[in-house]
Copies of this chain bind each other. A is one copy, B any other.
Amino acid sequence: MPLTSERGISAEELRLAARNHAMPLEALRWPITPIGLHYLLVHYDVPLVDPAAWRLQVGGAVERPLTLTLDELRERPAVELTATMECAGNGRALLEPRPLSQPWLTEAVGTATWGGAALTALLAEATPASAAVDVVFAGLDRGVEGGVEQRYARSLPLAEARGSGAVLAYEMNGAPLPPQHGFPLRLVVPGWYGMTNVKWLAELTVTTERFAGYQQTTAYRVRASEHEEGRAVTRMRPRSLLAPPGLPDFYTRERVVAVGHVTLEGRAWSGRAPIALVEVSDDGGASWAEATLTRDLEDLSAWVRFEFDWEPTRPGTFMLCCRATDETGESQPLEAEWNVGGYENNAVQRVPVLVR
């Protein structure tokens, strides 16, 4: 992946930013992100899929290969999952030097209720061979990446595919899956970064060797340099975001609030464990105070809400920050740890606010 130390965003990055979109942070006020506000990354093009011709092929090292229509999937017991999903590249454009790819700032996230069939039940139906190790999920979107022409495909270890509560989703927020979110079917694995949740899903292949596809072994690995193998990107690290308070300036997006009482609110999540603590700072992280947490969505895969009564008693510029800690004890760092692909940057958000 190329890098830049230049300050300006490139034409290629702008092209990606114009297509893909983050969640405007005021949408943190909604527990379930309205459709169209949930972050969206399309690797190649949104394919135009004819649902009548579409089939899900389940094959590879299984006792009973399956070919299923959408109606046949709908006949299976339906499950629902409310999950927060974040792009693994969220925060990439804040790294220095900046890895050149989709230039996310802090807000590539969203929460949806996904309806569909349980992956574990479908795997049980197909019955993986005893030597099976991975399940490979291949979508219908095709393109060229790193010089390699490919269909987008990712794998999960079989145990994770069986045990993670993953859903083969044909509904989003109670409506049919929108084209850009994978119509007619996508994978949703609670707690994992977005690249896991293969859209326009067409094939599940059980393998007896580790999957070594482009998106598994070239992309989505945390590497300090191009030359090392690195480690795989998997579950979301803890993160919290504030809905920026007060009024925005149109061009700079900087916020203005009046002296007095301000109720700050935001959301926090981790794909590794429930959120234990969210702290807020108004001095750029020099001092912290605890926010009040509310679990307004039952599903543990969904973000929690936090609230903080802020009393800016004098005019001036304040740097608001928030910091989440999950039940494993992992906390958001003040400074990002740089890596080649620009993944997993969960450094604390900084929201400059002018009090007047």
Nearest-neighbor residue (CB-CB) of A4 within chain B: B8
A250 touches B34 (CB 8 A): no
Q: How far is the CA of A76 from the CA of B350 in the complex (A)?
A: 47
With beta carbons under 8 angstroms apart, the residue of B9, B15, B16 that contacts A13 is B9
Whether A27 contacts B46 in the complex (CB less than 8 A), given A34-B180, A178-B35, A247-B144, comes out as yes
Interface segment out of the listed A36-44, A77-85, A187-195, A326-334: A36-44
B179 touches A12 (CB 8 A): no
Interface segment out of the listed A17-25, A52-60, A118-126, A155-163: A17-25
Number of copies: 2
Q: How far is the CB of A33 from chain B (nearest CB, A)?
A: 10
Residues of B near A249 (CB, < 8 A) are: 143-145
Q: How far is the CB of A246 from chain B (nearest CB, A)?
A: 9
Would you call A252 an interface residue if the criterion is a C-beta within 8 Å of the partner chain's C-beta atoms? Answer: yes
Residues of B near A17 (CB, < 8 A) are: 14, 17-18
B24 touches A48 (CB 8 A): no
Q: How far is the CB of A7 from chain B (nearest CB, A)?
A: 6
Taking Cβ atoms with an 8 Å cutoff, the residues of A that contact B are: 6-22, 24, 26-27, 29-30, 34-38, 40, 42-46, 48, 93, 100-101, 103-105, 107, 142-146, 149, 175, 178-181, 247-253, 256
15 sampled A-B residue pairs with Cβ under 8 A: A7-B8, A8-B9, A12-B251, A14-B17, A15-B253, A18-B21, A18-B104, A26-B48, A30-B179, A34-B179, A36-B36, A44-B250, A45-B247, A45-B248, A145-B249
Contacts beyond the supplied A18-B105, A144-B249: 14 A-B pairs with Cβ under 8 Å: A7-B11, A9-B13, A13-B14, A18-B22, A20-B21, A21-B21, A24-B42, A24-B180, A29-B48, A36-B178, A45-B248, A144-B248, A145-B250, A145-B251
